Amino acid sequence: MTKRLVRGAIIASLYVTITFVVAPVGFGHIQFRASEALTVLPIIFPESIVALYIGVMLANFLGGLGPVDIFGGSLITLMAAYLTYRTRDSWLAYVWPVLLNGFLVSIYLAPMLGLPYWLCVLTLSISEAVVVVGLGYPLISWLTTRGIT
């Protein structure tokens, strides 16, 4: 129990820290938010579902896009993390963060930025896929080959 709680706190802290290290490219309709690589951690760490929710909420609170992003973005991440966990034995686990961020975050982000919805879906989905596949997949591979579970 303590190990899971500590791991969850570390994941939430890492999400916030990494988000602000890459802040110039971590907010907006093109988000190469390296911290999104952590969204696949529910594949091996169930406690990361809540940790990611908290981490995104804190990062978005500090990010300055307001309550819709703070609560909306966090709930979208919570849904994606849960679905990632549920499909952890399938390639779908890597798809949920991409699809949900692309289609759902765009609902509020496009009007906030004055952009067409589909442009926002396209750019968010591509940037999310780059991070999830380019960083998240290797992260899961590295953790599992080292027996870190």
Tokens of 44: 């091996």
Tens-digit pLDDT profile for the chain (149 aa)?
799 999 999 999 999 999 888 766 555 566 677 899 999 999 999 999 999 999 999 998 987 788 998 999 999 999 999 999 999 999 999 999 999 999 999 999 999 999 999 999 999 999 999 999 999 999 999 999 988 87
DSSP state of 149: -
* Domains observed in the chain: 2-145 (1.10.1760)
- Using only the alpha carbons of the chain, give its radius of gyration: 14
Residue-level pLDDT at 26: 54
Measured CA to CA, the distance from residue 123 to residue 126 in angstroms comes to 5
